Chains A and B, each alone.
Chain A
Amino acid sequence: AQSVTQLGSHVSVSEGALVLLRCNYSSSVPPYLFWYVQYPNQGLQLLLKYTSAATLVKGINGFEAEFKKSETSFHLTKPSAHMSDAAEYFCAVSFGGYQKVTFGTGTKLQVIP
């Protein structure tokens, strides 16, 4: 069965510092992978997705993620954190078709001025 693990339920970074949020998946074949962001009192919106094309995926708001099959990882990065990046981030995995999507437990990002 597919699963996804997000390391660190809370991450704090200083404004302007690198953001790194970790996601590892477990499956026997490469899945489709997603990062979603949830701002306070809002629903989830898609940041970016990996669909087996380019391994380095660029998303909205300056975020990007790299699919590494050998490490079964899909970590989310942003070179310079902004106060507006404070939110909860969810990694998710899917095999498409009639398969369900499995979400990680989320990482709350705090940006310190």
Chain B
Amino acid sequence: DADVTQTPRNRITKTGKRIMLECSQTKGHDRMYWYRQDPGLGLRLIYYSFDVKDINKGEISDGYSVSRQAQAKFSLSLESAIPNQTALYFCATSDFPSGGVSYNEQFFGPGTRLTVL
């Protein structure tokens, strides 16, 4: 089945370590997104990419970086992890059909639970 996958699913790390979260999709979508979820705050956008050559900051990009290696792959890095980056991270994709209407409906991966000690 066409899907969005994330690795790892769970990660515990220490303050100051560099961490990479990976996202792959088989939906053939051009658009990919990284969100973090914190209790009571909903989902907040970290970075997004509308195609391989396009990278944009979201509302909470400080302390994060991304790489769009291919249409199907979008990685999120924490250069030097800190405890307040402990959260649930989601990758998502959306379609932009040529000649059609884009609603930006998001298709989510299963999430990565990151704990920074």
A residues near B, CB below 8 A?
Answer: 9, 32, 34, 36, 42-46, 49, 51, 90, 92, 94, 96-101, 103-106
Contact = CB atoms under 8 A, between A and B. Distances in A.
Interface stretch (B12-20, B41-49, B67-75, B77-85): B41-49
7 contacts: A32-B104, A42-B110, A43-B111, A96-B101, A97-B102, A103-B44, A104-B42
Contacts, number: 59
Interface footprint category on B: 20 to 34
Contacts of A94: 103-105
B90 interface: yes
B43 A103 contact: yes
Given A43-B90, A43-B109, A44-B90, A51 B58 contact: no
Nearest to A91: B42
Contacts of B40: 9, 105-106
A29 to B, nearest CB: 15
B104 A103 contact: no
Contact of B103 (A9, A96, A100): A96
B42 A100 contact: no
Contacts of A106: 40, 42
A96 B102 contact: yes
Interface in B57-100: 58, 90, 94
B106 interface: yes
B34 interface: no
B104 A96 contact: yes
